[in-house]
Amino acid sequence: MPTSNLAMTVSEFARAKINLTLDVLGKRADGYHELISVVLFARDFGDTLTLIPGARFELSLSGPRAAAVDGPNLVETANARFAERLGTTPLTGSFHLDKHIPVAAGLGGGSANAAAALRALMRINPQHGLNEEQLDALARTIGADVPACLRQRPLVMAGVGERIAVLDADVALPAVLVNPGVPLSTRLVFETLNAAPLAPGAEESVRRALNPALFHDARALRSFVLAGRNDLEPPARRLSPVIGDVIASLRQTAGCWLARLSGSGPTCFGLYGSPDEANAAADALAASHPAWWVRATTLG
């Protein structure tokens, strides 16, 4: 290992993940659900993970959402799985997570943090020898969304997250994210959905969705997203009716052309025609609903 890496502090930005669409094609024989989802990432909102290389793993937290982190952290899991995969003792060190993404919010915060840890570990271990396929396989052992969060680019993910098509379209969608601050279990959302068994024709739907030509520019992406849906929104709204209030409030703001639940929630998003409209909507929603977490951003 080059000795210069021992003095190399690295920092990775872990962007919040937003599922613009989420089709549940059915429940597989193994108990998992087959999904298709168009995913974008917040360009200017997320957590920051800093790593100071050293011989021993440590993790500290700060930031407005640090107190909400409870139990095992996926940064630690990523560090352990990276060492297991290499079969050696790679350089690790002191991780510091500046936490801003709300926890258990449908924004992929834990997966984004794990992906950031893997990127940081690869930077300080340049001889890791992992190609993209091997890295994805490692990431999937941590969580279904971690391969997507490794890329942090517009993409379509399918299956349980293991099949990914990165989109070439230059996308910049002004958006507002709103979390009403209610607990919502992903497991309960899927149980309430009570999806039917996976149909034989599902593979063809997946194959079509993973064709990047469908999203050749921002206009095509917008059309696809408008025609899409989030199959987890109805069960999530039954479990937490305030989600319906959030979506209705977003739709009432000026310039909002789409409002929907992200993932299993409870965070919802609104898409706008300009950053000024998104900022004005965020200000209005924060003023009228001070108990909600509200953030304007740009998705891409």
Both structure tokens of 255: 């310039």
Assess contact for 82 and 74: CB atoms under 8 A: no
Q: How far apart are CA 26 and CA 158, in angstroms?
A: 12
Residue 145's contacts (CB-CB under 8 Å, 6 or more residues apart) are 17, 108, 111, 157, 161
Read out DSSP for 33-90? EEEEEEEEEEEEEEEEEEEEEESS-EEEEESTTGGG--SS-HHHHHHHHHHHHHTS--
Both structure tokens of 198: 């996976």
Sign of the Cα torsion 70, 76, 81, 82 reads positive
Of 98, 138, 94, 143, the C-alpha closest to 118 is 138
Residue listed under structure tokens 């021992």: 6
The catalytic residues are 17, 145
How many helices (H) and strands (E) would you count in the chain? 10, 11
